[in-house]
Chain A
Amino acid sequence: QKEVEQDPGPLSVPEGAIVSLNCTYSNSAFQYFMWYRQYSRKGPELLMYTYSSGNKEDGRFTAQVDKSSKYISLFIRDSQPSDSATYLCAMSAGGTSYGKLTFGQGTILTVHP
């Protein structure tokens, strides 16, 4: 079983839809959680960053972390065609494992006009 599981999709939604992306993990030591967006042939771009449990909102994006369920989510409101990309979750523990980031496989999202 992988440490981080992410449904690869692909996910196709109409413009304006609410998108929900999710990852589950097995390592209870994870405490730093990130969401990245990656366009084709580009490097991953940091979207959201959360430490420990809770919610974080930035514009149309909301990140949620539920450490008790080992489950993180990214919500995109009012989705736009420009949101079409691969979304990657990533996480790490602290202390001596701070530098070791583990990624999900990525979810391919297409938002059609």
Chain B
Amino acid sequence: EAQVTQNPRYLITVTGKKLTVTCSQNMNHEYMSWYRQDPGLGLRQIYYSMNVEVTDKGDVPEGYKVSRKEKRNFPLILESPSPNQTSLYFCASRGLAGGGEQFFGPGTRLTVL
């Protein structure tokens, strides 16, 4: 089954404690992205990657890091989380072939205390 998976689905942490949210896709898509979703602000792109070792900033990259060492994986790293990073995070992937539709993972709800 074609899918995007994220882990963990729920995470509660404290300010300053580094964390990583993993994302994996099995569709051999070139593009992968991270979004955060906040009430009243909608979905905002954090970072995206065009392929292995190629990444670019989205609309709200501050406080986040990403890496793309393998085509299927695109982890999101918060090196020093702060309460304003409490949000619902989505990973997504999009291929160049087959029309270019973008598919989302199930989401990770992060709370930073």
Q: Which residues of A contact B (CB under 8 A)?
A: 32, 34, 36, 41-46, 49, 51, 88, 90, 98-106
Which residues of A have CB within 8 Å of B27?
none
Which residues of B have CB within 8 Å of A45?
104
Chain B, interface size category, equals 20 to 34
Least CB distance from B99 to A in Å reads 6
Least CB distance from A78 to B in Å reads 25
CB-based contact A49/B106 at 8 Å? no
Q: A4 CA to B24 CA in the complex, in Å?
A: 29
From A36, A51, A99, A102, contact of B50 by CB (8 A)? A99
Given that A43-B106, A43-B107 are contacting pairs, would A103 and B42 also be in contact in the complex, using a CB cutoff of 8 Å?
Answer: yes
Which residues of A have CB within 8 Å of B94?
99, 101
Find the B residue at minimum CB distance from A50.
Answer: B99
B-side interface mostly: strand
B83: interface (CB < 8 Å): no
Q: A106 CA to B43 CA in the complex, in Å?
A: 9
CB-based contact A100/B48 at 8 Å? yes
Q: Which residues of B contact A (CB under 8 A)?
A: 31, 33, 35, 40-45, 48-50, 56, 58-59, 90, 92, 94, 96, 99-107
Q: 5 extra interchain contacts, Cβ-Cβ under 8 A, other than A43-B106, A88-B42?
A: A44-B104, A46-B104, A98-B31, A100-B48, A104-B42
CB-based contact A43/B31 at 8 Å? no
Find the B residue at minimum CB distance from A45.
Answer: B104
Which residues of B have CB within 8 Å of A36?
104
CB-based contact B45/A101 at 8 Å? yes
Least CB distance from A38 to B in Å reads 9
Which residues of A have CB within 8 Å of B33?
99, 101
Q: A111 CA to B102 CA in the complex, in Å?
A: 26
